[in-house]
Amino acid sequence: MVEKGISRLGRPMSDVLVAIENVGNLEIAKLENGLVIMASISGGAPMLGFLGTVTGMVTVFFNMAQKSGGTIQLGDLSVGMYQAMVTTVGGLIVGILAYFAYNYLVSRVDSVVRILESRTMEFLDLLNEPA
């Protein structure tokens, strides 16, 4: 960003500032690239796990309905219950890991943005110092 400002030296200060802001916005967009996907994974994975839970329970009740009038064995229920529990655990694990990763990456991006802003302010202060 400072490099872009240096390349604009000799032009009006507003031109220098606009050039620095434009480069800064592009750099921030690059840093934030992929964060939307990470946020979607952290929110969507538990929902997919819950969907698996519901389909597992549907399997349990379907198997129970097939045995109407008969004795229901534990094995008739265990397949659906297993599916329900595995998908719940899987969705939660992926969602929790993605949630922590997303928040970590957001904090890193914020940190880099603060550094860029600080360096830019230092550069602009140098340009505005009286000769």
pLDDT in tens, 13-26: 888 888 889 999 99
Number of domains in the chain: 1
Contact 120, 2 (CB under 8 A): yes
Q: Is 124 a member of any domain?
A: yes
Of the ranges 36-40, 55-59, 107-111, 127-131, which one carries the lowest mean pLDDT score? 127-131
Which residues are CB-contacts of 119 (< 8 A; sequence separation ≥ 6)? 1, 2
Q: Is 21 a member of any domain?
A: no
What is the distance between the alpha carbons of residues 12 and 112, in angstroms, rounded to a whole number? 28
* The model's pTM: 0.76
* Residue from 26, 36, 83 nearest 58 by CA: 83
Q: Is 54 a member of any domain?
A: yes
Which residues are CB-contacts of 83 (< 8 A; sequence separation ≥ 6)? 52, 55, 56, 59
Average pLDDT of the segment spanning 65-94: 88
What is the distance between the alpha carbons of residues 47 and 45, in angstroms, rounded to a whole number? 5
